[in-house]
């Protein structure tokens, strides 16, 4: 088994993790200082959201140089120190790679606008429609049309996100070669893999057909969702692009390619690629997107996902990230403990979003403090991502030992790490018990998943490896519910259970989950 199959991934949102120089924004020395926490927590790899030079119109997802570090976060030397320190501690480092678009301040785009240095066709340029106006009806993910007018060229350029984030033209071999070189730059510096931003959007229709209307759209939804992205995302040719990126990571031993994919199961599994030569971990966001947090919905997801995985493909699971409301806010703090047990006992690589281990919740942001362009461009639709990006509270000291300055976003009311470390009943201690159990018990990390069932509010499944078996029984409801099967309690969301033996006729408390060990026969 590879490290990215048995391991647990932890996402750091660098602006909000730890600030070393008092400017209120987290940085690389801050991440280095925080690595010990990750080791203590029992995760294996750290995925770092973008730290490249950037005008920060989308907080780093607008890259102006793929082979450097933004001074806000530190220096290349800091980055090298981070990789060395992480590796010495047994942690892998996964870099966020943003290949779909650059910043409009990237020299490639400036060259392209000026038709110079052979970069005319590095971006997606089109003439106006015959009657004037944008060439297609394509919409930006951040409100408005996806076509920006450029006076200098007298043409439109395509931007799936902000007008300051022009999309690269991945049909141009020179773009492909430049991006592959950027990947090699970091692979040579020792990074263990990439999380690829908006992987499914990297190729758009070469015939520039209009996207059809979305019949399910209503005014509460984002304006982008007015259309179905039939011609702007998940195009067949994207798989060649992904295979190319995978070939680059395969030039180096033991690296991983993770893809960001907001797609249903039948589509996301295609990103494993032909003969498994695509992404090793195409992100599975089914739990992140789930509206109806119920035993039957989750049992259905697990069963369908397992059934649709191509031969040899390794599954993965995600509860949250820097773009979506936090799990504890979506399902409540008590149920978030059950969700943690689910995440860490399912078959497949778990990705933990920074702060999930503290049970962090979304923090309401007063209008004057809003930073996220998603909210600023379409206010009042709950599209803003600041609430899930608030700074990590390390202690209850002023500035929570996140910063000595003014934090770039306000702190939430979350219980700090230092306090949770002292409390055996905290979310943090539960997380740590669950990661240790997964590390100590190969059945949970690598065993098969069987007998997945919903029984009213109770979700249950078994994990088996050879003659070893673990049983997971989760109460997703707020009333006591009948348990299932028997065994010795190896972990529980509630105190007083661990080590006890359960046999028929036992009950789960509201919002309780247990992991049971079954003794091998004989």
Q: Which residues are catalytic?
A: 197, 251
Identify which of residues 58 and 234 has a Cβ nearer to ligand GLC in the complex: 58
Closest residue by Cα to residue 356 from 47, 31, 12: 12
Q: Interface residues for ligand GLC in 212-271 (CB under 6 A)? A: 260
Nearer to ligand GLC, 23 or 323 (CB): 323
Q: Helix/strand/coil (H, E, C) string of 360-429? A: CCCCCCCHHHCCCHHHHHCCCCCCCCHHHCCCCCCCCCHHHHCCCCCCCCCCCCCCCHHHHHCCCCCHHH
How many other C-beta atoms can be found within 10 angstroms of the C-beta atom of residue 311?
7
How near is the Cβ of 400 to ligand GLC at its closest, in Å? Answer: 24
Specify whether the CB–CB gap between 156 and 128 falls below 8 A.
yes
Regarding 19 and contact with ligand GLC (CB under 6 A), the answer is no
Contact 119, 102 (CB under 8 A): no
- Phi, psi (deg, nearest 5) at residue 474: -125, 130
Say how far apart CA 203 and CA 10 lie, in whole Å: 29
Binding pattern for the stretch 85-104 against ligand GLC, x by CB under 6 A and - elsewhere: -------------x------
Between 32 and 258, whose beta carbon lies closer to ligand GLC? 258
C-beta closer to ligand GLC: residue 298 or 352: 352
Q: Which of residues 97 and 431 has its CB atom nearest to ligand GLC in the complex?
A: 97
* Smallest gap from residue 215 Cβ to ligand GLC (A): 25
Residue 13 or 431 with smaller CB distance to ligand GLC: 13
Return the residues of window 447-486 that contact ligand GLC according to CB under 6 A: none
Round to the nearest angstrom and report the end-to-end CA distance of the chain. 29
**Beta strands 481-482 and 487-492, pairing class:** unpaired
Nearest-approach distance from CB 167 to ligand GLC, in angstroms: 10
Contact between 58 and ligand GLC (CB under 6 A)?
A: yes
Q: Which two tokens stand for residue 443?
A: 């059945």
Residues 198 to 217: which contact ligand GLC by CB under 6 A?
198
User: Could you tell me the smallest distance in angstroms from the CB atom of residue 209 to ligand GLC?
Assistant: 23
- Measured from the CB of residue 50, what is the shortest distance to ligand GLC in angstroms? 8
Q: What is the CA radius of gyration of the chain?
A: 23
Residues 343 to 362: which contact ligand GLC by CB under 6 A?
A: none
Residues in contact with ligand GLC, counted by CB under 6 A, come to a total of 9
Helix axes 28-41, 76-88, angle to 10 degrees: 10
Does residue 109 belong to the site contacting ligand GLC (CB under 6 A)?
Answer: no
* Spatial CA neighbour of 33 closest among 431, 391, 357, 394: 394
For ligand GLC, the closer CB: 284 or 470: 284
DSSP state of 520: P
Of 4, 10, 52, 61, which one interacts with ligand GLC (CB under 6 A)? 61
Alpha carbon distances (Å) from 395 to 42, 229, 417, 418: 20, 44, 6, 5
Smallest gap from Cβ 262 to ligand GLC, in A, equals 8
Could you say whether residue 197 binds ligand GLC (CB under 6 A)? yes
Residue nearest to ligand GLC (CB): 61
Nearer to ligand GLC, 229 or 457 (CB): 229
Nearest to 186 by CA among 82, 307, 314: 82
Helices (H) and strands (E) in the chain, counts: 15, 19
Q: Minimum CB separation from ligand GLC for residue 260, in Å?
A: 6
Strand positions, DSSP E, 428-475: 448-455, 458-465, 468-475
We find the least distance from the C-beta atom of residue 96 to ligand GLC, in angstroms, to be 8
CB of 237 to ligand GLC, least distance (A): 20
x/- track of binding to ligand GLC for residues 310-329 (CB under 6 A): ------------xx------
Q: 3-state SS of the chain: helix, strand, coil percent to 5?
A: 30, 20, 50
CA distance 434 to 445: 11
Q: How far is CA 128 from the centre of its chain?
A: 36
Question: Other C-beta atoms within 10 Å of 494: how many?
Answer: 18
- Residue 391 vs 399, nearer CB to ligand GLC: 391
Site for ligand GLC in 133-192 (CB under 6 A): 161
The residues binding ligand GLC (CB under 6 A) are 58, 61, 98, 161, 197-198, 260, 322-323
């Amino acid at each position: 088994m590879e490290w990215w199959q048995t391991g647990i991934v932890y996402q750091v949102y660098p602006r909000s993790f730890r600030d070393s120089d008092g400017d209120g924004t987290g940085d690389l020395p801050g991440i280095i200082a925080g690595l010990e926490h990750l080791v203590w927590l029992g995760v294996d790899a750290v995925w770092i959201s973008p730290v490249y030079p950037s005008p920060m119109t989308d907080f780093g997802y607008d890259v102006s140089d793929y082979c450097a570090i933004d001074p806000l976060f530190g220096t290349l030397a800091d980055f090298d120190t981070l990789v060395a320190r992480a590796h010495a501690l047994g942690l892998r480092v996964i870099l966020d790679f943003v290949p779909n678009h650059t910043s409009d301040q990237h020299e490639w785009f400036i060259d392209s606008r000026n038709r110079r240095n052979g970069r005319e066709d590095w971006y997606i340029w089109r003439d106006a429609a015959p009657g004037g106006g944008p060439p297609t009806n394509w919409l930006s993910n951040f409100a408005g049309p996806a076509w920006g007018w450029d006076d200098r060229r007298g043409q439109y350029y395509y931007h799936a996100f902000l007008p300051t984030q022009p999309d690269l033209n991945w049909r141009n071999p020179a773009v492909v070669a430049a991006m592959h070189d950027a990947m090699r730059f970091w692979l040579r510096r020792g990074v263990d893999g990439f999380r690829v931003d908006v992987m499914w959007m990297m190729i758009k229709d070469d015939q520039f057909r209009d996207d059809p209307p979305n019949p399910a759209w209503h005014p509460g939804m984002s304006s982008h969702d007015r259309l179905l992205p039939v011609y702007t995302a998940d195009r067949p040719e994207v798989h060649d692009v992904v295979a190319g990126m995978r070939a680059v990571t395969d030039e180096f031993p033991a690296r991983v390619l993770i893809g960001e994919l907001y797609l249903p199961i039948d589509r996301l599994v295609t990103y494993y690629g032909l003969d498994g030569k695509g992404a090793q971990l195409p992100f599975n966001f089914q739990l992140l997107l789930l509206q109806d947090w119920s035993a039957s919905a989750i049992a259905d997801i697990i069963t369908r996902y397992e059934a649709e995985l191509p031969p040899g493909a390794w599954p993965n699971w995600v509860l949250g990230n820097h773009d979506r409301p936090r799990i504890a806010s979506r399902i409540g703090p008590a149920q978030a403990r059950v969700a943690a047990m689910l995440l860490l006992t399912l078959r497949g690589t778990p990705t933990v979003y920074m702060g999930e281990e503290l049970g962090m919740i979304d923090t309401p942001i007063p209008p004057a403090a809003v930073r996220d362009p998603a909210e600023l461009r379409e206010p009042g639709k709950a599209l803003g991502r600041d609430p899930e990006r608030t700074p990590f509270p390390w202690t209850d000291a002023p500035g929570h030992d996140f910063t000595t300055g003014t934090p770039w976003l306000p702190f939430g009311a979350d219980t700090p790490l230092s306090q949770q470390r002292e409390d055996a009943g905290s979310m943090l201690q539960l997380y740590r018990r669950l990661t240790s159990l997964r590390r100590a018990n190969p059945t949970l990390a690598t065993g098969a998943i069987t007998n997945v069932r919903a029984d009213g509010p109770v979700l249950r499944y078994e994990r088996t490896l050879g003659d070893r078996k673990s049983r997971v029984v989760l109460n997703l409801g707020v009333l006591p519910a009948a348990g299932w099967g028997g065994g010795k309690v190896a972990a529980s969301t509630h105190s007083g259970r661990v080590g006890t033996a359960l046999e028929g006729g036992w009950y789960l408390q509201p919002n309780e989950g247990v992991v049971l060990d079954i003794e091998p026969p004989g």
